[in-house]
């Protein structure tokens, strides 16, 4: 694969950096990153919104041509990329809550939302990986205060620009390992904070209690329910929480 360089576009405020990238994708742009200081309509997984005040880093990376078999692996590998980027800039250890949340001291530091345009053969015409990292926020609104943290709240002094550069460097590395992500998959498994722990599996309005057993080759989470039945859940359909809260 050719060396990747990113064209970087920086904004103060946009509705969603993913939306900006999608508009650029429609114009045929490739290897382009959009970074904003705040978003007015940040998007989260499963149709949720993502609160995006100033202080956070909101970065979306657009590229073309992702083969069908590699699409499912991009988002969890992006979580590994963010962990590596954060750890390259400060002395800390990040974990991953299945499927794509980067966590620090048991709280959510970063969320990732990938959007793509699929061709008939299942490959992606383009793909946008959207990453929101809580960098400098000094507090969070009551509805997410229990589950969210920021680098600043953990007394880690990181510049959003340096973090953006480090993330883009890791996304470059990610693109080169997509065809053979075995090493990154092993790292994902090591970092996953759910394995061996009780989890609640949330699907629509139903909640089932289970134990998280393993991550399969496609980054599905294999769980065992209380009746002994096992299932491998996929990122597009369920959320996973701890027994009492976000992780624990």
214 closest CA partner among 228, 230, 200: 230
Joined tokens for residue 188 = 């994902």
3-state helix, strand, coil in the chain (%, to 5): 30, 35, 35
In whole angstroms, the minimum distance from the beta carbon of 226 to ligand BTN comes to 27
Q: Tell whether residue 111 is a contact of ligand BTN (CB under 6 A).
A: yes
CA quadruple 98, 141, 106, 79: dihedral positive or negative?
Answer: positive
Is residue 128 exposed (0-12), middle (13-18) or buried (19+ Cβ within 10 Å)? buried
First to last CA, the chain: 41
What track of x and - describes contact with ligand BTN for positions 36 through 75 (by CB under 6 A)? ---x--xxxx--x-x-------x-x---------------
Stretch that binds ligand BTN, among 88-96, 106-114, 208-216, 233-241 (CB under 6 A): 106-114
In whole angstroms, the minimum distance from the beta carbon of 13 to ligand BTN comes to 12
- Interaction with ligand BTN in 179-208: which residues (CB under 6 A)? none
Q: Which of 130, 160, 181, 242 binds ligand BTN (CB under 6 A)?
A: 130
Residue nearest to ligand BTN (CB): 111
Residue ranges in contact with ligand BTN by CB under 6 A: 16-18, 39, 42-45, 48, 50, 58, 60, 101, 111-113, 130-132
């Amino acid at each position: 694969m050719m060396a990747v360089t990113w064209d970087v576009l920086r904004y103060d405020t946009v509705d969603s950096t993913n939306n900006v990238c999608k508009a650029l994708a429609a114009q045929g742009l490739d290897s382009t990153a959009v970074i904003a200081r705040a978003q007015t309509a940040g998007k989260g997984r499963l149709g949720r919104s993502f609160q995006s005040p100033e202080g956070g880093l909101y970065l979306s990376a657009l590229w073309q041509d992702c083969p069908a078999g590699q699409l499912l692996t991009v988002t969890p590998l992006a979580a590994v990329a963010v962990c590596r980027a954060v750890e390259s800039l400060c002395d800390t250890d990040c974990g991953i809550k299945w499927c794509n949340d980067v966590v620090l001291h048991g709280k959510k530091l970063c969320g990732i939302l990938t959007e793509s345009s699929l061709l008939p053969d299942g490959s992606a015409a383009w793909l946008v990986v959207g990453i929101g990292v809580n960098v400098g926020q000094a507090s969070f609104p009551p509805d997410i205060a229990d589950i969210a943290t920021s680098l600043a709240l953990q007394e880690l002094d990181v510049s959003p620009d340096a973090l953006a550069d480090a993330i883009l460097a890791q996304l470059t590395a990610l693109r080169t390992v997509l065809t053979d992500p075995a090493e990154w998959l092993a790292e994902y498994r090591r970092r996953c904070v759910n394995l061996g722990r009780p989890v609640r599996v949330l699907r629509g309005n139903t909640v089932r209690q289970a134990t998280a057993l393993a991550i399969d080759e496609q980054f599905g989470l294999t769980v065992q329910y209380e009746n002994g039945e096992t299932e491998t859940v996929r990122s597009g359909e369920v959320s996973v929480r701890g027994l009492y809260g976000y992780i624990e």
